Structure 1
Amino acid sequence: MSAERLPASVYADRLERAAVAAEAAGVDALLITPGPDLQYLLGSRASSFERLTCLVVPVQGEPAVVVPRLELAALRPSAAGELGLAVHDWVDGVDPYALVAGLLPTPARAAVSDAMPALHALPLAAACGAPQVLATPVLRGLRMRKDAAELDALRRAGAAIDRVHARMGEWLKPGRTEADVAADIEAAIVAEGHTGAEFIIVGSGPHGADPHHEVSDRVLQPGDVVVVDIGGPVDPGYFSDCTRTYSLGEPSAEVAAQYAVLQRAQQAGLDAVRPGVRAEEVDAACRDVLAQAGLAEAFVHRTGHGIGLSVHEEPYIVGGNHVELAEGMAFSVEPGIYFPGAWGARIEDIVLVTADGGEPVNVRPHELAVLPG
């Protein structure tokens, strides 16, 4: 198979199921511009520009692509050619929104991808003569449940990022800056099998108490607790995402005790994963352990997020989400504890829902990793 995408038959099946889902949602078509939805449905990694590229998936009729003539080369690696999709290319001076509307009934209520810029969404709504809705509710059922090829890609991504964490002792050393460490991690992410680094968090000392800290010029100090959250895509575009926490030297008794609670909480979340369990129940499993130890207020974010062609997608593992887990879903289990001005810690694995439980794709040890300080 191409390194860029899956076999064309996979995309043919997805397009058929997407049209069925659109009809069930009461819309006339899906209008998909470049982004994760287009990659899912057509295997295209085209970029979005001011000129409209749009996959049209009507409930009645065949899918087609409207694309600027000067962007035809970007479409060729997709499955459009193998599937025999009609391609309507256009040049400057032609109204591409009218081209899309001409492929649909009049008026046409369409579902548009989340990634569609307002620059395109508003003219499309006007051309189609009806208000548009988001495609997320239409496509979530398809994208949440991964097929065998997707699950294999997520396993490969998990193994690749584990290999990077296994090397952390090479880089996490007192006297180096977070930025120094991040540069080494970025190179290793590619060397270990990713096509690039999507994000790198190196949160040392007090910076570890900020869940969305990235990197800074702070110099690592002996005794620091360091949160390292890293990930990137592997072909054909599926992401890794794994967090481990490190201590530069032996941690204090208080840090060790609180981290041990976090480790139990994360394991409780992993143990809760199985088909039929609601997403909110996995979240509650982690929170209950922390709450019993008086650490409820230190956990300030949801327990997890789905992952695939996007780093963050459905299902979200959070209180109030009644979605039942099903075989083929993939998401993170990543409780954390954060003490502003002092330190923080997080443990994150990506988990695949199997027929009778959960399969973590990350297998690095969960203990607080003690490195020379």
Structure 2
Amino acid sequence: MAKASSAIPFAGIPFPRSEYEHRQKRVLEAMARADLDALLVTAHGHLRYLTGYDGLGGYFMPFPLILVPRQAPTYVVREYEVNGVRAESCIDEVVGYIQQQDFAKVCADVLRRYGLENGRVGFELGCWNLAPADVGALQAQLPNLKVVDATRLVTSVSVVKSELEIKIMREAMAMTDLAMRTFQGALRDGVTEAEVAASIHYEIRNAGGDDVRMVSLGFGERNKLPHGKPTRHPLRTNEPAMIEVGGTKHGYAAGLVRSAVLGRHPEAESLHALSEEALEAAIAAIKPGVTAGEVDAAGRKVIERSRRPEVFRHRTGYQIGLNWGERGNLSLEPGAVDILQSGMTLHMPFILFSESGYLFGCSENVLVTERGAEILSQTPHTLYRA
């Protein structure tokens, strides 16, 4: 682990400082193309991407990272979190404020210091962690400030992974595959969701991995709940089971959906077969130069041909990596015009709804390469029969 300028044990940044400086440079280049004088980064995932700090100290106050050409990046944070930001980020210029009502004045003072009273400044208006009241308070301090929606700017850079990030994604996927093997090996009559979840966490810790993100785990009738959390509900013979889980490494997640049937369950089996076909069609459409909407359309056509269009009620997939996902990131959805590039990592969950309400399906986490899509998982997405 690369160390920040801190003597605090185990504090530091996960990657070399040069990695973050390279990311910041690319964001500054994107700002120049957007004709921005400055950018306020407030989304937690984007803050972590650019600084190493997870941003979680900003759970009820904004924590903007201010990027200005030819100036050192400046982090405006709660005074309570200043030591943590200094120790766990690559940012040297940290400015603190104490109460929420102090934020606008302190942040405005920083912008004035850089001569931005009349500047054209980008804000992540479509992301989490920035409230309209925060923007309004800043505008009250700087009435001539030109607020520009820059929701997609950091995404346009972070969507293409570096070789170091791809290595980390592969390590995270190795833990996801271990979680899936544990899930499949634990299925038997009477085992509970909580027992399976505990086994997964134990195996990951035993292997020295970071903890996993358990997005969903459901048995039987509880497969009708989206994002259901593990309970003491048991699996019975001739029932379906589905899990969505992601191994993590330095905050990078490699999510995956896998399904199983203990015995036989014709309704779930039919749904899974359609999910597999749609997923494979979408994966086959992936290559640099195609649009996100074209990939979505390839999978959606399979669903439409099945004459069961009502089973598919969401998008085909999304950009994945740091923080699993961030509002405003690239999305594989109808009409999306984002162009796929080599180095992107995408999660593609085809979770379908049966007529009686079951949610069932599979996904893949893929790397876009010059030759097409590389599937990162070693666990087949075919239905597992226990």
TM range (shorter): 0.7 to 0.9
Using the TM superposition, name which of 27-36 and 135-144 deviates more: 27-36
1:196 aligns with 2:211: yes
- Please give the per-residue CA displacement for 1:84-141, whole angstroms capped at 9, x wherever unaligned: x433345677942333233332123322343434264433333333253443222221
**Paired residues of 1:27 and 1:111 also in contact (CA < 8 A):** yes
Q: Residues 128 and 62 from structure 1, CA distance in 2 versus in 1: closer, same or farther, beyond 3 angstroms? A: farther
Corresponding residue SS for 2:21: helix
2:289 aligned partner, one-letter code: G
Distance of 2:150 and 2:16 partners within structure 1: 24
Q: Residues 178 and 310 from structure 1, CA distance in 2 versus in 1: closer, same or farther, beyond 3 angstroms? A: same
**Paired residues of 2:58 and 2:78 also in contact (CA < 8 A):** no
Identify the residue that residue 278 of structure 1 maps to in structure 2.
Answer: 291
Corresponding residue SS for 2:283: helix
Distance of 1:342 and 1:315 partners within structure 2: 29
1:261 aligns with 2:269: no
1:61 aligns with 2:71: yes
Identify the residue that residue 88 of structure 1 maps to in structure 2.
Answer: 95
Identify the residue that residue 234 of structure 1 maps to in structure 2.
Answer: 249
Cα RMSD after superposing both structures: 2.6
1:16 aligns with 2:25: yes
Distance of 2:313 and 2:293 partners within structure 1: 15
1:169-184 mapped onto 2 (5 Å cutoff)? 169-184=184-199
**Paired residues of 2:242 and 2:260 also in contact (CA < 8 A):** yes
- Please give the per-residue CA displacement for 1:219-249, whole angstroms capped at 9, x wherever unaligned: 32211111111124212x2112001001111
1:39-78 mapped onto 2 (5 Å cutoff)? 39-46=48-55, 47-48=57-58, 53-59=63-69, 61-78=71-88
1:343-354 mapped onto 2 (5 Å cutoff)? 343-354=358-369
1:319 aligns with 2:334: yes
Q: Residues 52 and 286 from structure 1, CA distance in 2 versus in 1: closer, same or farther, beyond 3 angstroms? A: closer
2:53 aligned partner, one-letter code: S
Using the TM superposition, name which of 95-104 and 362-371 deviates more: 95-104
Runs of 5+ in structure 2 lacking a partner? 3-11
Aligned pair count reads 366
**Paired residues of 2:318 and 2:347 also in contact (CA < 8 A):** yes
1:28 aligns with 2:37: yes
Distance of 2:206 and 2:97 partners within structure 1: 40
1:243 aligns with 2:257: yes
Distance of 1:307 and 1:193 partners within structure 2: 23
Corresponding residue SS for 1:66: strand
Q: TM-score, normalised by structure 2?
A: 0.85
Identify the residue that residue 205 of structure 1 maps to in structure 2.
Answer: 220
1:295 aligns with 2:301: no
1:109 aligns with 2:120: yes
Runs of 5+ in structure 1 lacking a partner? none
Using the TM superposition, name which of 66-75 and 152-161 deviates more: 66-75
Using the TM superposition, name which of 16-25 and 336-345 deviates more: 336-345
Using the TM superposition, name which of 165-174 and 152-161 deviates more: 165-174
